[in-house]
Amino acid sequence: MKIRRLEQARNSDRRITSKTWESTRMALRDDNMGFSFHITTIYGGTETHMHYRNHLEAVYCISGEGEIEDKATGEVHQIAPGTLYLLDQHDAHVVRARADLELACVFNPPLFGTEVHDESGAYPVEADTVAD
């Protein structure tokens, strides 16, 4: 059994920051759960382009407001507390946060922990190919 506290993880190397978001990685590949679990904040007033070619992701909105655009169809869906979206087809998408979005995210396969999006909007599969 492993116990982690969000505030402790936020004050450690488990907190990864980028230009439009920060992510605290609560459970990672080396926890051997078959998934990784993150609490991610997408900063209000930003737009983040993502395309997880190597991962599937489930995202649950805890707080904030924004929208997600499916790049293949152009459909836009509102994100508010209680919204779950599943990127089950390696969907290219854009998240626009009107107010800070606090999201609980699950990735399969699990992340190693230091990944950030590469130029295509994806996370690499292997830790040694992590983008700067």
| pTM across the whole model | 0.88
- Nearest-Å Rg of the Cα atoms of the chain is 14
- pLDDT of 45 > 50? The answer is yes
Q: Which of 99, 81, 101 is nearest to 41 (CA)?
A: 101
Set out the domains of the chain in order of their start, with CATH numbers. 15-112 (2.60.120.10)
Q: Which of 81, 115, 77, 83 is nearest to 96 (CA)?
A: 77
| pLDDT tens digits for range 65-90 | 999 999 999 999 999 999 999 999 99
Return d(Cα 65, Cα 118) in angstroms, integer: 25
- pLDDT of 117 > 70? The answer is no
Return d(Cα 131, Cα 103) in angstroms, integer: 22
Return d(Cα 48, Cα 105) in angstroms, integer: 15
pLDDT value of position 129: 41
| pLDDT tens digits for range 21-34 | 999 999 999 999 99
pLDDT value of position 29: 93
